[in-house]
Amino acid sequence: MNQAKRYGWTAVMVILTLLALFVGQALAGEKTLVGEINDNYQLIVGNQTYDIADTAEGNELAENHISEKVEVTGTIEERDDIKIITIISYKVLSE
């Protein structure tokens, strides 16, 4: 194998490795939680409260499913000791 081909394959392997790392980190940020929606735009999971981020999906969930048990998938961030969930998808669960 000549040197140019060797460098080409090395470059491809480095790019694929970096891509796998970045995709893995992005997916690791997603969480699935089961809880109840209250009338303050919040998801209650046990004794933990998550503010629902102001997005189309989050607003639909918070406005149309108060007091319902839901399974949500989203990303969570923390600002000033407040947990905020950005809803990616959700499913209303029957009790």
What pLDDT digit, counting tens, does each position of 5-38 carry? Answer: 667 778 788 887 776 766 654 555 789 999 999 9
Angle (nearest 5°) at CA 54 between 35 and 75: 55
Domains, in order of start, for the chain: 31-92 (2.40.50)
**What is the percent of the chain where pLDDT is above 70?**
80
Give yes or no for a contact between 49 and 83, defined as CB atoms under 8 angstroms apart.
yes
